[in-house]
Amino acid sequence: MLRSLVVAALLGASSVAAVKCTRSSHCPEDSPCCSTYGECGVGAYCLGGCDPTMSFSLDSCVPAPVCEDRKMKMNSLDSIVDIGKYLGDSSKADWVAQGEPVVFQNNVLLTMPKDSVGTLLSSTVYMWYGNVKARFKTSRGAGVITAFILFSDVKDEIDYEFVGTELGDAQTNYYFQGITNYQNSENITLSDTFANFHDYEIRWTPDKIEWWVDGKLGRTLQKSDTWNATSKNFDFPQTPSRVQLSLWPGGKEGNAEGTVAWAGGPIDWDAPDIQKSGYYFATFSDVEIQCYNAKSGPGTNSGTSYWYKDAAGTNDTIVDGDKRHTIASLMATGEDMDKGKKEDKKKDSKDDKDSKDSKDKDKGDDDDDEPATIPGGSSGAPSNDHGDDSSSGSGSDSSNTPSGNPDGDSDDTEPADTTNCQTNSFNQDCASSDSSKSSSSSDDGKGSNAGTRNGASALAIIIAGGALFWL
């Protein structure tokens, strides 16, 4: 069965309640795309994270951009686009943001203001095997989770996760199609992850996974050791995946008891970092993707996009081809990629006005029937929530939270302006219009606000209400 996500209400969500989706209960035709969070919609639901095995059909999800070698210096917001403005063109951005990244002293901070669900960055390109390396400092504190993972649309997963009370450990883990097995986890010991930058690397091939820290091998998993005699399958991550960086509240009130225990206890929303900076934060410096570049499948990237030809969702069902991977609007789907396309801009102003008036009237008549367009996650991360892991996690007491200062640059962090943020879901409208120009230096100590710097509109705030969970 699929693993559960953190269960929490989406406060402030719109009245549009997205339909749930599972492998046994697919999305309906009018909201055909099943998001990472197990809900149905159109638009962004059909892009990164769209699960073809739970959607209306395999073609409901938009094909995914193939792997590209990328060196991404995390010193500005220029390559980060808000999820409400991303239409699948991976050439225009490196990352899709949900939450509130900011720039501080030539690094990108993933932030988690009080009572929020944190921040998630997802790469716009996918990896079908290869190496990915990230240099960063984690956050800290009971209930605070920093993560660097690979996550596929059918929920194959390779993890680094960091519990904020255990700053001397990097937890490594893997999952096949979301199947929970907490015996898969192993720790790598290292120096204080909040005070120090470390280089974390995942080396992934069709035969094995290696986790490296600071140039030293910390763990190896052989595919041959993952054979499942019951299902007659290797429970080994094997499908194209996005790189995801996240900061999320494992200790948030309302989360499963096991999740809170694994996360080190309930989160303190009045901790020193919140009082001083306005948010918990993790500091990211660099991310590099190196593709596997196989000459024949699995692991190729010779085309422009990946898609699934069978609901089994294994590496032999992946097609590396040349299908389009962009949509015209947030009303489009994989089967109607031009739906909502803007009319010819060459029309005269009268025609444009008449068209707008007509659309506004139609919108007023049909508001109640419009599908959700922007998936929201209440957990702050799509990775496994450890909700059934009450005994095998860290379970550290919150009193173990380190009290020492971070290194010099973190100590002077000041909060971004989050006055207008709705920080209880991954659909936030925090930035004013003049915040669209991000600064790459930010050496004045005030983080530059990403928010909806690309102008997320009301359309980008349509999300599902209620609790999110996998059945």
| pLDDT at 338 > cutoff 90 | yes
Give the active site residue among 100, 157, 166, 201.
157
The arithmetic mean of pLDDT across residues 233-253, rounded, is 98
Residues 146 and 118: beta-carbon distance below 8 Å: no
Q: Does domain 1-471 have CATH number 2.60.120.200?
A: yes
Residues linked to residue 179 through DSSP beta bridges, in sequence order: 2
**What is this structure's pTM?**
0.79
User: Which residue has better confidence, 418 or 306?
Assistant: 306
Residue 403's SS3 state is coil
Residue 384 to residue 386: CA distance in whole angstroms:
6
Is residue 166 flagged as an active site residue? Answer: no
Q: Please report the pLDDT score of residue 442 as a whole number.
A: 35
Residues 449 and 428: beta-carbon distance below 8 Å: no
Give the active site residue among 39, 100, 161, 166.
161
Sign of CA dihedral 102, 108, 114, 119: positive
User: Which residue has better confidence, 124 or 437?
Assistant: 124
Q: How do residues 38-90 score in pLDDT, each as one tens digit? A: 999 999 999 999 999 999 999 999 999 999 999 999 999 999 999 999 999 99
Domain spans of the chain, in order of start: 1-471
Q: Please report the pLDDT score of residue 376 as a whole number.
A: 79
Q: Please report the pLDDT score of residue 368 as a whole number.
A: 53
Confidence bin at 220 (pLDDT 50/70/90): very high
* Least confident span in 42-46, 303-307, 328-332, 370-374: 370-374
* Among 128, 113, 62, 119, CA closest to 95: 119
| pLDDT at 91 > cutoff 90 | yes
Is residue 186 flagged as an active site residue? Answer: no
| pLDDT at 192 > cutoff 70 | yes
Residues 108 and 80: beta-carbon distance below 8 Å: yes
**Cα of 436 vs its chain's centroid, Å:** 22
* Among 23, 99, 18, 97, CA closest to 468: 18
Residues linked to residue 181 through DSSP beta bridges, in sequence order: none
Residue 350's SS3 state is helix
Q: Please report the pLDDT score of residue 326 as a whole number.
A: 99
The arithmetic mean of pLDDT across residues 124-142, rounded, is 99
Residue 289's SS3 state is strand
Average pLDDT for the chain: 80
| pLDDT at 16 > cutoff 70 | no
Burial class (CB in 10 A: 0-12, 13-18, 19+), 316: exposed
Confidence bin at 208 (pLDDT 50/70/90): very high
The share of the chain scoring above pLDDT 90, in percent, equals 69
Q: How do residues 435-468 score in pLDDT, each as one tens digit? A: 333 333 333 333 554 332 222 222 222 222 223 3
Characterize 331-367 residue by residue with b for buried, 16 or more Cβ atoms within 10 angstroms of its Cβ, and e for exposed.
Answer: bbbbbebeebeeeeeeeeeeeeeeeeeeeeeeeeeee
Whether residue 206 is preceded by a cis peptide bond, meaning omega within 30 degrees of 0, is no
Element housing 361 (H / E): helix 349-366
* Among 76, 111, 97, 82, CA closest to 415: 111
Confidence bin at 384 (pLDDT 50/70/90): low
